[in-house]
Amino acid sequence: MSTQQKTGHVPELLVKKRKRDEQWAAERAAAALEARKQSKIKRKDMFKRAEQYVKEYREQVRGTARTRTVGLFGGCNCLQAPVPLRLAAVSLEDLQAAAAMSMA
């Protein structure tokens, strides 16, 4: 048996090491607790944003349906397009001129 076990004496270096390890463990536990709290807050915010997105999307769909209904029954005999269409008009003469220039 060693002399430490006989006398019950623990070297100062080991006492300091144990104390330091306990302190580090307490700091890690506190950091983990704080991380869990922050994670819970983030999750709550993510769900709120998702619910807000769904709400806005549903309102947009209802608005589109409403404008179509108003267009149909509001005196106009046609459905209103929810988004204006953009068309590019090109005449046959322009196409023939472009083709002639590319061949030359």
Model confidence over 11-65: pLDDT tens digits?
Answer: 999 999 999 999 999 999 999 999 999 999 999 999 999 999 999 998 888 887 7
**CA–CA separation, 94 and 91 (whole Å):** 5
Task: Give the separation between CA 38 and CA 42, rounded to whole angstroms.
Answer: 6
Supply the DSSP string of 28-81, one letter for each residue.
HHHHHHHHHHHHHHHHHHHHHHHHHHHHHHHHHHHHHHHHHHHHHHSS-SSPPP
For residues 51 and 48, give the distance between their C-alpha atoms in angstroms, rounded to a whole number.
5
Residue 22 pLDDT: 97
Stronger pLDDT, 103 or 29, i.e. the higher one: 29
Amino acid 35: pLDDT: 95
Span 87-100, pLDDT tens digits: 566 666 777 777 77
Please give the pLDDT value at position 5.
Answer: 56
